[in-house]
Amino acid sequence: MNKYILALDQGTTSSRAILFGHDGRVRAIAQQEFPQIFPQPGWVEHDAGDIWRSQLAVAQEVLRESGADAADIAAIGIANQRETTLLWDRSTGKPVANAIVWQDRRTAGICDALREAGHAERIRQKTGLVIDAYFSGTKLKWLLDNVPGVRARAERGELAFGTVDAWLVWKLCGRHVTDVSNASRTMLFDIHALAWDEELLQCLDIPPSVLPAVVPSSGEVGRSDPQWFGASIPIAGIAGDQQAATFGQACHQPGMAKNTYGTGCFMLMHTGDRAKASHNNLLTTVGWNRSGVPGAEYMLEGSVFMAGAAVQWLRDGLGIIRSAEEVEELAASVPDTGGVVMVPAFAGLGAPYWDAYARGTIVGLTRGSTKAHIARATLAAIAYQTADVLEAMQKDAEIGLTELRVDGGAARNNLLMQFQADVLGVPVVRPKVTETTALGAAYLAGLAVGFWSSREEIAAQWQVDRRFEPAMAAAEARQRLATWRRAVDRSREWAVPE
């Protein structure tokens, strides 16, 4: 009998692999960071080879360290950083350029042109997305238009486009596929028809021949090449990291919501089996679907570009902490921010502002301001951005949130979680298993191969680690949010081209 599911959690700054047992608990984990590439301001790239090598290395490491072999693994599930865009040669597997990362803003001008040409409402209706450099479609167009010879090769059918999930599946088993959750983040996919859209492809001048086949999030899509793990293993689960985390948090019913505190901050609310349009600058996105089950389940999403990445900037940019874990102690050394407000718009602002030209801003500095105040203001900014998203989400969904389930690295920060509950005015609930992104990928894969029998079995495994109750007066929370929004206004449209 198979003992484990192997989850590959390919993130923006590191690749991880986790073995999960039948009880949904972690049996082994390995992680490896890989380099970030910043060719010029606003550009962010990855070497696709670094992504693959680091992901394969940690997958092999967890098997080695746990003493497991391929026969012990029921299936592989993949969760991935979304929107990051790759283009590679079908015959050699060699990428034509570095991957363009989801944070990259180089295509802001392309997005401006699409809006000016009147495409915004049509794109929103079909894809559920706003026009923004965040999504994969304009990144792919940029590669086709700017890498010499690439467009002609693509039109001859020689090249393959994919987000990171497609790249990993290609390397593992040679198939060119993506799942519906990742496809829904490209600005090329009709989320109602669950298919690539010819009109959108023409709008962005994308040849259909580069596109992967779209497969269910839960269902076997291939088997890994025996060279990687000693024998082949079914690949049976694929989901973008935020959809995977939502599934891992057992948010399986309409109205349930989770927030992931990673490099960015991503809140998703389950809205049922029909796409719900946003009127408050949120995204409508596909959550997941399952092989043999018609249709899909949908989410409203608010995407914050800089959350944990702002803490990394305190470490790497300012040098005021040696590790991300130190930020809580430093921030707790002062009772408040001393009037300092930080807007971490290093890569523009996401929901609900969608301002590609906003830039990072710190206001309220005085001679009494210290690195501790800046650290506390950085944590507060993460909570404020989440509050902005939740306010918009509750208006769209017309559902009052009763609790927010949380995960991701910064969810371990008790100071941040308590402040989050204070400014939201609802309890914040952290589960015992916080590796929910990987867990969601594992659950999707495990359901496909019968490792778990049902979603009810999965939901029963979800357990609370700690519940943070709001302790701040509602009037004070409103005042703090008003001050935050004044600071946001000062960050807006800073880098508009002259």
What does the pLDDT average to over 228-255? 93
Answer whether residue 26 shows pLDDT above 70: yes
Q: How confident is the model at residue 278 (pLDDT cuts 50, 70, 90)?
A: confident
Answer whether residue 398 shows pLDDT above 80: no
Determine phi and psi for 276, rounding to 5 degrees: -110, 115
- pLDDT computed for residue 257 by the predictor: 87
**pLDDT tens per residue, range 413-426:** 999 999 999 999 99
Q: How confident is the model at residue 397 (pLDDT cuts 50, 70, 90)?
A: confident
More confident residue, 272 or 484: 484
Q: How confident is the model at residue 1 (pLDDT cuts 50, 70, 90)?
A: low
Binding residues for sn-glycerol 3-phosphate: 12, 82-83, 134, 241
Q: From 264, 257, 260, select the one nearest 84 (Cα to Cα).
A: 264
- pLDDT computed for residue 122 by the predictor: 93
d(Cα 263, Cα 306) in Å, to the nearest integer? 6
| CATH of 4-242 given 3.40.50.1010, 3.90.870.10, 3.30.420.40, 3.20.20.140 | 3.30.420.40
What does the pLDDT average to over 462-487? 95
What does the pLDDT average to over 396-410? 83
Q: How confident is the model at residue 67 (pLDDT cuts 50, 70, 90)?
A: very high
d(Cα 24, Cα 180) in Å, to the nearest integer? 24
- pLDDT computed for residue 167 by the predictor: 98
**pLDDT tens per residue, range 284-338:** 999 999 888 888 999 999 888 888 899 999 999 999 999 888 999 999 999 999 9
Every domain of the chain and the residues it spans: 4-242
Give the pTM: 0.85
Q: How confident is the model at residue 253 (pLDDT cuts 50, 70, 90)?
A: confident
CB 248 within 8 A of CB 439: yes
Binding residues: 12-14, 16, 82-83, 134, 241-242, 263, 308, 312, 409, 413
Quote the distance between the C-alpha of residue 250 and its chain's center: 17
Answer whether residue 160 shows pLDDT above 70: yes
What does the pLDDT average to over 165-193? 96
Answer whether residue 433 shows pLDDT above 90: no
- pLDDT computed for residue 350 by the predictor: 86
**pLDDT tens per residue, range 356-381:** 889 999 999 999 999 999 999 999 99
Checking DSSP bridges between strand 257-261 and strand 265-272, what pairing results, if any? antiparallel
d(Cα 380, Cα 377) in Å, to the nearest integer? 5
Burial tier of 484 (Cβ tally within 10 Å: 0-12, 13-18, 19+) = buried
Binding residues for ATP: 12-14, 263, 308, 312, 409
Answer whether residue 209 shows pLDDT above 90: yes
Q: How far is CA 352 from CA 124, 280, 348, 393, 493, in A?
A: 15, 7, 12, 9, 15
Q: Which residue in this structure is represented by tokens 């902490």? A: 321
Strand ranges inside 120-252, DSSP E: 159-162, 177-179, 189-190, 195-196, 213-215, 218-223, 234-240
| Stretch among 11-15, 227-231, 297-301, 391-395 having the lowest mean pLDDT | 391-395
Q: How far is CA 355 from CA 59, 111, 359, 396, in A?
A: 38, 11, 9, 20
d(Cα 47, Cα 270) in Å, to the nearest integer? 34
